[in-house]
Amino acid sequence: MSVFLAKVPYILAAILVFGILIAVHELGHFLAAKLCGVQVNEFSIGMGPCLWKRQKGETQYSWRLLPIGGFCAMEGEGEESDSPRALGKQGFWKRLLIFAAGAGMNFLTGLLIIAILFAGATGFYVDQVSGTAPELAAVAGDSIQAGDRFYKVNGYRTYVTGDAQMYLAYAGDTAEVELVRDGEHIQVELQKRTCSDQKGQPYQGFGLYLTVGMVESDGIGTWLRYVWYQTADYVQIVWFSLQQLVTGGASMDDVGGPVAIVSTITDVGMESQQQAEANDQNGTLAAIRSIASFAALIAVNLAVMNLLPIPALDGGHILFLILDTLAAKLFRRRIPAKYENAISSVFLVALMGFMLFVTAHDIFKLIR
């Protein structure tokens, strides 16, 4: 019971973080709609039964019971409307801005969190080579040297520490590695083989020994570079994870929904607090930093996922917008809104079914 009570603050914080990030997404749509002159009928923070509402001009602002997001209801969204300020009556660029604004707000939120977390950092850490296994040294010679910094593994940029090890772990029998030595880029092709680790124990791998290198700060330029690197790294991780899921490199055990996110944030916060307190540091501050860092990853994840060209997602709306514009240009006919609505409805049901399955799977993993 005491363990559960200790988790309660983190569970509540995780739910709040998740809800805020979804609400920020909807705020992006709301601000873009207002900017473009589209009529917004309701903007809500939270979902479910309405706790508070206020009409201001044409828009009803509401606060709802469940802190798990929100919505921005625009005139003509998902239905026909004769209003000149309806969403469907707007031009290509206005609708594109409105559809992309939610993901844009999530991306900027992640970027801002990272910028705040690493303000005043004296540098950032990267992966570099500390040595090679004897089996690799026998065939590679001095083409790989201690101190070489990783730049790419199988085409994936290694922005921050941990990237090289992750991409090597998911590599097949061959790994294309790009290293940097004294400003010069060196490309090597490695074959998976039986190698000796640093303790002399055999293992199947590429024979690279990794360590952490430090890029010293030279002022605001290094800080800006690291903020961008960390944000770009999150985007790449999400994209890499999707590729692994599609190609079979990842299983359903690697997929998580809201329950898994809340559970992970809770675990991250508690572990950070315990580790900090064990080292006589401020445990609460450490937990806040860890949760904020994970929130940045979720924010970027929401941005990337929502831009996928899947009907019912923002990327699906953008896809239909492009197809409709092309149809008007090439055939002088537009795609009827009822077709987009029907297809989006089918995919929405499918996505909801998938999320229910993922949620049930998450709960099963927690109780088994």
Look up residue 178 and give its DSSP letter.
E
Tokens representing residue 70 in the block? 């929100």
CA dihedral 166, 170, 176, 182 (to 10 degrees): 10
Please identify which residue in the block is written with the tokens 């004769």: 82
Taking the C-alpha atoms of residue 66 and residue 46, their distance in angstroms, rounded to an integer, is: 5
Cβ neighbours of 294 (radius 10 Å): 20
Please choose, from the candidates 40, 121, 102, the residue with its C-alpha nearest in 3D space to the C-alpha of residue 73: 40
16 Cβ contact list (under 8 Å, min separation 6) = 67
First-to-last alpha carbon distance for the chain, in angstroms, is: 18
Reduced to 3 states (helix: H, G, I; strand: E, B; else coil), residue 113 is helix
The amino acid at residue 34 is K
Active site annotation includes 26 = yes
- From the list 26, 42, 77, 340, the catalytic residue is 26
The beta-carbon contacts of 181-186 under 8 Å, at least 24 apart in sequence, are 181/145, 181/147, 181/148, 181/149, 185/151, 186/143, 186/144, 186/148
Q: How far is CA 26 from CA 30, 127, 143, 236, 315, in A?
A: 6, 37, 51, 24, 15
**Alpha helices of the chain — where are they, by DSSP H?**
2-35, 92-117, 134-140, 163-169, 220-247, 258-278, 283-306, 314-331, 337-367
Locate 310 and state its tokens: 């899947």
Q: Which residues are catalytic?
A: 26
